[in-house]
Amino acid sequence: MAKTDGRASYTSANALPVKLLMSRGAKELRPVHVNWYPTNACNLKCNYCAFSKRDKTLSMDMRTAVRVIHDFARLECEAVSITGGGEPLCHPNVADMISEFHSCGIKIGLVTNGTLLGRLDKKTLEMLQWCRISSSCPFDDAYRNILDKAIEADVEWGFSHVIEEQPNVDHIVAMVDYAQRHKFTHVRLVADMTNEGRVSDWQDIENLLADKDGFVIYQKQKTAVKAKRCVLGYVRPVVAPDWNVYLCCGAQLALDVVSLDTPSELLMGDARDLKAIYGGQRKPFDVNCAHCYYGMHNSVLEVLTSDVDHKEFV
């Protein structure tokens, strides 16, 4: 069977939800892919942080984490992205969480700024399906040394980099060169969502990287749509460090007044009581999102969870 291009494999928002269409769990509205935020703590302070107004003291306790991980496993969760409003590797028990997900047969992805990768040994790293490094630091020798050691592990490595209004072009070129030299799967360049995606010279960057066509994915800001109904949270819920479950990984940017935190308006329930979320009839949530980047996902999910006659007449 032919594969789709890299964009479909390595992006979600603003893309045709190919993986959603292929997911056996989407029609059942079960938690196929969980976004797991172990901690709000972070060792960096990026200008474009989409969670800059979060409570940075919040972190998951390990005892509850184990119970919730097993609850998701019983609901046939297939994958988890360990990411967050903070840097996940700031959590002292993140390696234990990775091991727990792995023991449950749940495929694991990690999103990290890369600076603390030395906290994970090779055995733990190789429990990951993929690791996406959100490159935020100067691409200097100290940063390269950290990455050099980590990428000895057999993991699908990729870079993601936020393009600010005045981008650091030298950093971008060094990152792309490093990624190609070390056989990363891709580099994803994304717009700064906290700045409405304003970039002075997207075209200049594309021209500079013209010989990297197919390796670099450009995920530019697109016009947001408004949303009044949402079912996406059932399939890919967000679990925050305080155990609140949210509808969307873009919740902090979704409302008319951007919260830069996980807003209570998009709360689904409590991860410590998943039966309350998944135990009854799963109806769409009423929302009032001014900036929805998963509109196509919700449209597809509503179709998948409906029924029609004469399905053979395609």
- Residue 207 sits in a domain whose CATH number is 3.20.20.70
pLDDT tens per residue, range 64-76: 999 999 999 999 9
- Nearby residues of 37 by Cβ (< 8 Å), 6 or more positions away: 60, 83, 84, 85, 86, 88, 238, 239, 240, 241
**Rounded Cα distance, 83 and 75, in Å:** 21
**Domain carrying residue 105:** 28-223+235-249
Q: Is the pLDDT confidence value at 24 over 60?
A: yes
pTM: 0.94
pLDDT digits (tens, 9 = 90+) for 136-163: 778 899 999 999 999 999 999 999 999 9
Let me know if residue 294 belongs to a domain. no
Helix/strand/coil percentages in the chain, nearest 5:
35, 20, 45
Q: How many domains does the chain have?
A: 1
In a domain, 282, yes or no: no
Predicted pLDDT of residue 2: 53
Tokens representing 271?
A: 């991860």
Report yes or no on 62 lying in a domain.
yes
Nearest to 25 by CA among 72, 81, 84: 72
83-95: b or e for each residue (b if 16 or more CB lie within 10 Å)? bbbbbbbbbebbb
Q: Please give the C-alpha separations between residue 131 and each of 10, 110, 117, in angstroms, as whole numbers.
A: 11, 5, 10
Q: Which residues contact 272 (CB under 8 A, 6 or more apart)?
A: 64, 67, 68, 243
Decide if 67 is inside a domain: yes
207 is a domain residue: yes
CA-closest candidate to residue 67, choices 215, 252, 270: 270
Structural domain includes residue 302:
no
How much of the chain exceeds pLDDT 70, in percent?
96
pLDDT at res. 213: 77
pLDDT tens per residue, range 252-311: 999 999 999 999 999 999 999 999 999 988 999 999 999 998 999 999 999 899 888 998
Q: Would you say residue 35 lies in a domain?
A: yes
pLDDT-derived band at 193 (thresholds 50, 70, 90) equals confident
pLDDT score, position 14? 58
pLDDT per residue as tens digits for the range 75-101: 999 999 999 999 999 999 999 999 999
Domain annotation covers residue 309: no
